[in-house]
Amino acid sequence: MTPRSIIAAIAGIVFGVGLAVSGMMDPAKVRGFLDIFGSWDPTLIFVMGGATLVMGIAWLVQRRFDRPLADSRFHLPNTSGIDRRLLGGSALFGIGWGLAGLCPGPALASLATRPLQAAIFVAAMIAGMAVFRFTLEPRD
């Protein structure tokens, strides 16, 4: 394994432990966060708050570095250009999130704890990604 792969695996483990501790692997709880007109559960705000706090510091540190520890450069997406794809795709994702109470991270993590249900969701998610690939994905 390359150093990069090892770093990615460690990051994944920390991510998985974080998801498990946070409560976000409970779809009913996530749905409770979105249920602002019902019995609202604000826990996800604390999860997002904690995560963006640490990640915000990481972005400040990143500015002082020419390159990451184990690669020759940073590979970062554009931050500007709000278009219909971004908004339409996000709106669709929100529908899925609200229907099942699952987003990609917790769904994958749940393969360890609720293998059957998680596998059904993840298989459908990958199928949805494949549909995108063969329909709306831009081609050069």
Task: Scan residues 86-125 and list those touching other proteins (CB under 8 A).
Answer: 86-105, 107-114, 117, 120-125
Dist. CA 26–CA 68, nearest whole Å: 34
The number of angstroms, rounded, from the C-alpha of 32 to the middle of its chain's C-alpha atoms is: 18
Question: Min. distance of Cβ 10 from other proteins in angstroms?
Answer: 6
Question: Min. distance of Cβ 65 from other proteins in angstroms?
Answer: 7
- Both tokens of 10, joined, read 């460690």
66 near other proteins, judged by CB under 8 A: no
Binding track over 32-51 against other proteins, x by CB under 8 A: --xxxxx--xxxxxxxxxxx
Number of residues forming the site for other proteins (CB under 8 A):
117
> CA torsion angle for 29, 33, 35, 36 (degrees, to 10)?
150
Dist. CA 2–CA 88, nearest whole Å: 37
Question: Min. distance of Cβ 89 from other proteins in angstroms?
Answer: 3
